[in-house]
Chains A and B, each alone.
Chain A
Amino acid sequence: MIEIRDLRKSFDGRTDILKDINITIKKGEIVAILGSSGTGKSTLLRCLNYLTKPTNGSIRIGTTSIDAKKHTKKDIMELRSHSAMVFQNYNLFKNKTAMENIIEALICINKKSKKDAQRIGLQLLEKVGMLDRKDFYPSKLSGGQQQRIGIARALAVEPEVLLFDEPTSALDPELVGEVLSTIQKVAQEGATMVLVTHEIMFARKIATRILFMAEGTIVADGTPEEILDFPKDERLKRFLDYNVN
């Protein structure tokens, strides 16, 4: 489903944020990316839909392959059509209601009629438990509610891959649960997901595979048990000591 080859990213041309990343992710895998802040987790995720343009390397999602050195705007659009992202800060459209946020892409991109789009919108609102807030603007919703709308908006385009960029990091602790259970619900439906998170317990619960990043490279790659219960890498051991105990 996803194939990343020799991916490198440097923002200033001197220091590499990502160094020679090679990963293959199969359909239906739920991959959690762990690591300390500043190790390139979010950058890697954002390269997958070219919100951050890599410096080198190629990315393939589904049927679209794109090379950092030579690509067109159309290639980027095509790459993005295979995935959808849930952001740390929700990034909902502030001038649109919960419902309008969800169906925006359906109307704009998929050219669905308003009626069809709203029918899909209602199903998604129900799935994330937000039916009673459908006409609320984001400013009138809590962080957890906004993020659930963010998830519904991502699901609306029926992406082959769902990308989560620290979806609970901006939330108050008491609101984390509702968002995590929504993500879990989506995971159980067999979606392919890549999830950057700090919630190690959650990663253990839903991920089928965990990548641990340090200094711009993937230093450990395995099942949750391999990574969390029998860590081999020194940096991973230190990370887990600090974050779990």
Chain B
Amino acid sequence: MFDLSYFFGVFPVIASKLQVTLSLTLTAAIFSIVIGVIIAVIGYYKICFLYPITRFYLSILRGTPLVAQLYFFYYGLARVSEIVLNMKPLTAVALVLSLNTGAFMSESIRGGLLSVDSGQKEAAAMLGMSELQTIKRIVLPQAFRVSLPSLFNDLINLLKATSLAFMLGVRDIMGQAKSEGAQSFRYFEIYLAVMIIYWILVLGFSHFHKIMDRKCMDMY
């Protein structure tokens, strides 16, 4: 039944693609936070013509399945765009994941922005600080702290979502497992290894979150 020696043999083979999964997660995480902050700030100030555009963007990205977005972008848009046609699968996945997670993160950050009381903004205004200075130096740092739990939630979802990259032929952890399975048919051992690897990664993220949370609590 369960082939222990095969399991221990295939585990490092699959885990060797850890770097692909992690770098994909990290790249997408950085871009999603940037997208998230920009969209959240636009939503916070309800900036005239940008606001409806971001609402439409959020509605689409949150209202359709990620797999559909990946296929639409990589296979669909490739029919009309030269750039997408020549794009590496890894780049395409990173891009779609950033756009998707950015949409979710923006709502997490917007919640944090709204939690900062207006009195502090009045104090900044009375001192003569511009709105940009106020949001950068006063509002966003506090908003991040409040948003931390939901941002980590988004991050964990992102990590797991990178496993869809294999659908575009990327050899990440999931992609490697798939190709191993195609050769040996030992799906039980292979996907158990996959489950364990992702699970450990998520545990690591959660631990990191706890440390950051405690650090924030000590501060103010």
Task: Give the B-binding residues of A (Cβ under 8 A).
Answer: 49, 51, 77, 80-81, 83-85, 87, 89, 91-96, 104-105, 108-109, 137-140, 153, 157
B141 at the A interface (CB under 8 A): yes
Q: Find out whether the CB atom of A91 lies under 8 angstroms from the CB atom of B122.
A: yes
**Beyond known contacts A84-B126, A94-B142, A104-B124: 14 more, CB 8 A cutoff:** A77-B128, A80-B126, A84-B127, A91-B117, A91-B120, A93-B123, A93-B124, A94-B220, A95-B142, A104-B127, A105-B127, A105-B128, A108-B133, A153-B127
Question: Which among B119, B129, B142 is the interface contact of A87 at CB below 8 angstroms?
Answer: B119
User: Once the chains are docked, how many angstroms separate the CA of A105 from the CA of B129?
Assistant: 7
Q: Chain B residues near A157 (CB, 8 Å)?
A: 127-128
Q: Find out whether the CB atom of A49 lies under 8 angstroms from the CB atom of B138.
A: no
Question: Which among B137, B141, B142 is the interface contact of A104 at CB below 8 angstroms?
Answer: B137
Question: Which among B119, B126, B133, B220 is the interface contact of A95 at CB below 8 angstroms?
Answer: B220
B125 at the A interface (CB under 8 A): yes
Q: Chain B residues near A96 (CB, 8 Å)?
A: 138
Question: Which among A49, A94, A108, A139 is the interface contact of B129 at CB below 8 angstroms?
Answer: A108
User: Once the chains are docked, how many angstroms separate the CA of A92 from the CA of B126?
Assistant: 12
Question: Which among B125, B138, B141, B142 is the interface contact of A51 at CB below 8 angstroms?
Answer: B125
B48 at the A interface (CB under 8 A): no
Smallest Cβ distance from A136 to chain B, in angstroms? 9
Q: Chain B residues near A137 (CB, 8 Å)?
A: 219-220
What does DSSP make chain B's interface, helix, strand, loop or mixed? helix
Nearest opposing residue in chain A for B130, CB measure: A77
Q: How many A-B residue pairs have CB under 8 A?
A: 64
Question: Which among B123, B129, B130, B219 is the interface contact of A92 at CB below 8 angstroms?
Answer: B123
Some 17 contacts from A to B, beta carbons below 8 A apart, are: A49-B126, A51-B125, A80-B126, A85-B123, A91-B123, A92-B120, A92-B123, A93-B120, A94-B120, A95-B142, A95-B145, A104-B124, A105-B129, A108-B127, A137-B219, A137-B220, A140-B220
| Known contacts A91-B122, A95-B142, A81 near B128 by CB under 8 Å | yes
Smallest Cβ distance from B141 to chain A, in angstroms? 5
Q: Find out whether the CB atom of B128 lies under 8 angstroms from the CB atom of A95.
A: no
Question: Which among B126, B141, B145 is the interface contact of A85 at CB below 8 angstroms?
Answer: B126
Q: Chain B residues near A85 (CB, 8 Å)?
A: 123, 126
Q: Chain A residues near B145 (CB, 8 Å)?
A: 95
User: Once the chains are docked, how many angstroms separate the CA of A84 from the CA of B128?
Assistant: 9
The residues in B between 143 and 184 inclusive whose CB is less than 8 angstroms from any CB of A are 145
Question: Which among A87, A95, A140, A153 is the interface contact of B122 at CB below 8 angstroms?
Answer: A87
Smallest Cβ distance from B115 to chain A, in angstroms? 11
Q: Chain B residues near A105 (CB, 8 Å)?
A: 127-129
Q: Chain B residues near A153 (CB, 8 Å)?
A: 123, 127
Q: Chain B residues near A51 (CB, 8 Å)?
A: 122, 125-126
Q: Chain B residues near A95 (CB, 8 Å)?
A: 138, 141-142, 145, 219-220
User: Once the chains are docked, how many angstroms separate the CA of A87 from the CA of B124?
Assistant: 12
Q: Chain B residues near A91 (CB, 8 Å)?
A: 117, 119-120, 122-123
The residues in B between 65 and 124 inclusive whose CB is less than 8 angstroms from any CB of A are 117, 119-120, 122-124
